């Protein structure tokens, strides 16, 4: 699942509610703000959902890796995740 809208947009929270155990969520664009810490992300992890943020999008917003509460992936790793788990990618 790819999420691009920030936590302030209800649509991103609705999309995250669709995630199920075994899914992978990648936060891109303004959704990387979730990586700073959000109860929604904690809930996803408790359900067995992997959560990552795109490193470039996170850092371009002025944050450093040590501020992220989720794993950061670069573009190459992002593509690998989509190929590996992308049989049902939701954008």
For the segment 5-59, what is each residue's pLDDT rounded down to a tens digit? 999 999 999 999 999 999 999 999 999 999 999 999 999 999 999 999 999 999 9
d(CA 16, CA 6): 12
Q: Give the right CATH number for 2-77 from 3.40.1260.10, 3.40.50.720, 3.30.499.10, 3.75.10.10.
A: 3.40.1260.10
Residue 3, classified by CB atoms within 10 Å of its CB into exposed (0-12), middle (13-18) or buried (19+), is buried
Which runs of E-coded beta strand occur in 1-91?
Answer: 2-3, 24-27, 50-54, 71-73
pLDDT level of residue 90 (50, 70, 90 thresholds)? low
Q: Are 61 and 32 in contact (CB under 8 A)?
A: yes
pLDDT of 72 over the 80 cut: yes
Contacts of 6 (CB under 8 A, 6+ apart): 12, 30, 31, 33, 34
d(CA 39, CA 79): 27
Three-state SS at 47: coil
């Amino acid at each position: 699942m790819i999420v691009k809208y920030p936590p302030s947009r209800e649509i991103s929270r609705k999309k995250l509610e669709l995630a199920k155990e075994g899914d992978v969520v990648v936060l891109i664009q303004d959704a990387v703000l979730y990586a700073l810490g959000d109860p929604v992300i904690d809930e996803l992890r408790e359900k067995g959902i992997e959560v990552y943020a795109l490193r470039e999008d996170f850092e371009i917003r002025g944050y450093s890796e040590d501020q992220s509460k989720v794993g950061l992936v670069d573009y190459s790793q992002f593509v690998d995740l989509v190929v590996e788990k992308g049989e049902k990618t939701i954008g």
